Amino acid sequence: MLRNPWFETIAEAQRRAERRLPSTVYGALVAGSERGRTMDENTEAFARLGFAPRVVGHHAQRSLDTTVLGVPTSLPVLISPTGVQAVHPEGEVAVARAAASRGVVMGLSSFASKPVEEVAATGADLFFQLYWSGTRASMVQRMDRARSAGAKALIVTLDWSFSNGRDWGSPAIPERLDLRTALRFVPDVLPRPAWLWKYLRSGRLPDLTTPNLAASGSHAPTFFGAYGEWMQTSPPTWKDVAWLRKEWGGPFLLKGVARVDDAKRAVDAGVSALSVSNHGGNNLDTTPATIRMLPFVAAAVGDQVEVLMDGGVRRGGDVAKALALGARAVLIGRAYLWGLAANGQAGVENVLDILRGGLDSAVLGLGHSSVHDLSPEDLVIPPDFPLALGAAARVPVVQP
Ligand SMILES: Cc1cc2nc3c(=O)[nH]c(=O)nc-3n(C[C@H](O)[C@H](O)[C@H](O)COP(=O)(O)O)c2cc1C
């Protein structure tokens, strides 16, 4: 038993998550795909950017707050939607309580383990995330349900490519966790008594279903049942995106944009915001780090829609770098999942506090009084760093 559950960096939260979680659950959070190149580059790219600090004239008071899609947030950091299964018995409810207590917005995945109504009851500001999956009627029903529960925006994630296989191996996740199946996982779970104890105390096993994808009056599909529906759905066109946008009616965030031409098409389809994202390196491996693609996307459409980014954010300084390169805010994925695994709601709060402290320190050292003052001038940017995908600035093709 750890005497002090507080941790000082996200790296330490990850170490604790690895120690506490059964290896299958930990492996599902690490995720990644193929070589894991994109996943690693997302974090490494932040380390390639430097700061250009100022020495005198620092501000005693600094403000870190902003708004995202009209919703005030105390920090330019949002909880990114993740299909969290079996990390913690309270799952997304614990994350939402942490988001509410720290005044940040939470994106709730349609693959989440808790019903949107239960998550909304925490009082957190919620954005509901949807994939293009199922029939139009089922998508409308899911949106209606999220809207009635109080979701303030829709996040539509469109970058998933169903890649399969990781060089380091994928965890074996069961379709359903009944007692018989649970017994198969005993060797994986027994060495993790703290995790097991949390579930035993909660009185149930992880249920591995997706309650927000249930048709009204029917059972929640299993995680793999939902995944199957998604795989069999014909991928959307830009017209479909415009339809979805219209059906939702309210603020609409398209998550997963990498290319400048796609960003412009997204604006034409009527989105209100987009997130430059490669799904945390979980799908098309060797897609470049998102922070490298951000500046060109922000320059192309940042005056028309809100531009966010996600992928690889592990420090408050990373948040400052993303804002300096044109993001209005960032979304975090694994960082809060490590916190949740390490210490439940308090662990997620701990993660948000680490990011707040690091961002405040960067704003102080760079001589600003607000996150809105951050600019590329605050950074040391290697000449080959920014990448424009799908725009005029292309890498020349060498003819043989
Ligand atoms: C375990 C895991 C599950 C995820 N599930 C979803 C999901 O259900 N919906 C979604 O839009 N993105 C999902 N993502 C992607 C995250 O929202 C986000 O884009 C990514 O984690 C950002 O990278 P980071 O983990 O380096 O912060 C998931 C990511 C992870 C690691």
Among 391, 400, 257, 379, smallest CA distance to 322 is for 379
Go through the chain and tell me how many residues it has: 400
Which atom in ligand 1 lies closest to the alpha carbon of residue 334? 25
Residue 279 among the catalytic residues:
yes
Half-sphere CA count of 46, side-chain side, radius 13 A: 22
| Measured distance CA(285)–CA(48) in Å, rounded | 20
Res 398: pLDDT: 55
| 400 within domain boundaries | no
| CATH code of the domain containing 277 | 3.20.20.70
Kindly indicate the confidence band of residue 206, based on its pLDDT and cuts at 50, 70 and 90.
Answer: confident
Torsion angles phi and psi, residue 209, rounded to 5: -120, 170
| Measured distance CA(240)–CA(135) in Å, rounded | 12
| 385 within domain boundaries | no
Average pLDDT over residues 157-167: 93
| Measured distance CA(359)–CA(380) in Å, rounded | 17
Task: Please check whether residue 95 is in contact with residue 106, taking contact to mean a CB–CB distance below 8 angstroms.
Answer: yes
| 141 within domain boundaries | yes
pTM given for the model: 0.96
Task: Please check whether residue 374 is in contact with residue 52, taking contact to mean a CB–CB distance below 8 angstroms.
Answer: no
Q: Which domain holds residue 32?
A: 10-374
Res 203: pLDDT: 87
| 399 within domain boundaries | no
Residue 82 CA to ligand 1 center (angstroms) comes to 5
In the DSSP assignment, the letter for residue 368 is -
Res 1: pLDDT: 53
Residue 357 CA to ligand 1 center (angstroms) comes to 23
Mind listing the pLDDT tens digit for each residue in 96-121? 999 999 999 999 999 999 999 999 99
Looking at residue 11, its amino acid is: A
Nearest CA to ligand 1 atom 27: 333
Mind listing the pLDDT tens digit for each residue in 234-263? 999 999 999 999 999 999 999 999 999 999
| 94 within domain boundaries | yes
Kindly indicate the confidence band of residue 399, based on its pLDDT and cuts at 50, 70 and 90.
Answer: low
pLDDT greater than 80 at residue 272 = yes
The single residue listed with the structure tokens 């957190």 is 124
Kindly indicate the confidence band of residue 193, based on its pLDDT and cuts at 50, 70 and 90.
Answer: confident
| % the chain with pLDDT above 70 | 97
Number of domains in the chain: 1
| 132 within domain boundaries | yes
Torsion angles phi and psi, residue 164, rounded to 5: -135, 145
Task: Please check whether residue 394 is in contact with residue 388, taking contact to mean a CB–CB distance below 8 angstroms.
Answer: yes
| 395 within domain boundaries | no
| 244 within domain boundaries | yes
Average pLDDT over residues 169-178: 81
